Amino acid sequence: MDVTKDNGVVTIILEGDFTSIKLNDFRDLIQFERDAGNNLFRVDLRNTAVIDSMAIGCLVATYNSLRHNEGNLRLINVPEDIKEILRVMHMDRTLAGDQ
């Protein structure tokens, strides 16, 4: 995972599949940035082909936690296959949006 920061927005660029194997690192990174005072996040999925249900659940939980604390999480550069999964789950409007 690569991280960039621009105008108070933390962008996390995922590499490869986003599955349960990577969740602890993702959660740790989010918590580290939140502890540093950051609460606006973008997750860049341009290099991600596969996302599993645990990762989707983690994204939803992170989104909800951030929104509860006046933060936000958006998915950007979402591949079409993953967009379709989000559409089926009715989460495309909540999480995904190329900003």
Burial class of residue 53 (count of CB atoms within 10 Å of its CB; 0-12, 13-18, 19+): exposed
Tell me the residue range of the domain where 32 lies.
2-95
pTM: 0.89
**How does pLDDT run across 1-53, given as a tens digit for each residue?**
899 999 989 999 999 999 999 999 999 999 999 999 999 999 999 999 999 99
Cα gap 65→56, rounded to integer Å: 14
**How does pLDDT run across 67-91, given as a tens digit for each residue?**
998 999 999 999 999 999 888 988 8
| Number of domains making up the chain | 1
Supply the pLDDT for residue 90.
82
Which residue has 């690569």 as its token pair?
A: 2
CATH of the domain at 50: 3.30.750.24
31: its two tokens: 């918590």
The DSSP-derived string for 33-49 is HHHTT--EEEEEEEE--
